[in-house]
């Protein structure tokens, strides 16, 4: 990570940091622009290497347009993602413990192995989301089943 990248991250007021991790794709760079999905105001603009993991715990990303973004293994614990568009996003293995996902669009999102314990999912759209092996509480399980109009039939 170069000095300009570090200075940009220090100036951002939404609390996103990037930590390097070992991978084979060290030179792949992705420009990331996160905007408010209603006002189109830029919340974050940075370049992130595929060899890095995003940490945005306790960040305010409300109404952010994160449609289709790869946030696999990201730390989004206690983040405010209220009203965010996370449709078709890859959140595989992400930590969303205690996150505010109220009214978030998670349609078709990959939530495999995601920690959702303590997350506020009221009004969140989980249609076609992959929740395989997601960590959720019993009360969240009941709310998800109800929100998707599912019925559990016990044999």
d(CA 124, CA 140) in angstroms, rounded, equals 12
If residue 33 lies in a helix (H) or strand (E), which one and from where to where?
A: strand 29-35
Instruction: Give the model's pLDDT for residue 30.
Output: 54
**What is the SS3 assignment for 134?**
coil
Instruction: Give the model's pLDDT for residue 31.
Output: 56
Instruction: Give the model's pLDDT for residue 43.
Output: 61
Residues 6+ apart with CB under 8 A from 150: none
Kindly compute the dihedral angle of the four CA atoms of residues 77, 29, 129, 57, in this order, to the nearest 10 degrees.
10
Instruction: Give the model's pLDDT for residue 112.
Output: 95
pTM of the predicted protein model: 0.68
* Residues facing residue 32 across a β-bridge: 46
Backbone angles phi, psi at 52, to 5 degrees: -130, 160
User: pLDDT tens across 43-73, in order?
Assistant: 655 555 444 456 677 788 899 888 998 899 9
Low-confidence ranges of the chain (pLDDT < 70): 1-35, 42-55, 150-153, 155
CB-based burial of residue 35 (10 Å sphere; 0-12 exposed, 13-18 middle, 19+ buried)?
middle
């Amino acid at each position: 990570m170069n000095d300009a990248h570090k200075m940009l991250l220090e100036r951002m007021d939404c609390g996103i940091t990037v930590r390097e991790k070992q991978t084979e794709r060290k030179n792949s760079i992705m420009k990331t622009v996160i905007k408010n999905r209603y006002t189109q105001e830029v919340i974050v603009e940075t370049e992130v290497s595929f060899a890095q993991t995003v940490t945005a715990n306790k960040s305010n990303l409300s109404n952010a347009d994160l449609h289709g973004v790869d946030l696999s293994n990201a730390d989004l614990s206690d983040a405010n993602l209220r009203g965010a568009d996370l449709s078709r996003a890859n959140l595989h293995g992400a930590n969303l413990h205690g996150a505010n996902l109220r009214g978030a669009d998670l349609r078709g999102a990959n939530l495999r192995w995601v920690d959702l314990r303590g997350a506020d999912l009221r009004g969140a759209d989980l249609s076609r989301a992959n929740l395989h092996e997601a960590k959720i509480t019993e009360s969240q399980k009941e709310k998800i089943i109800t929100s998707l109009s599912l019925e559990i039939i016990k044999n």
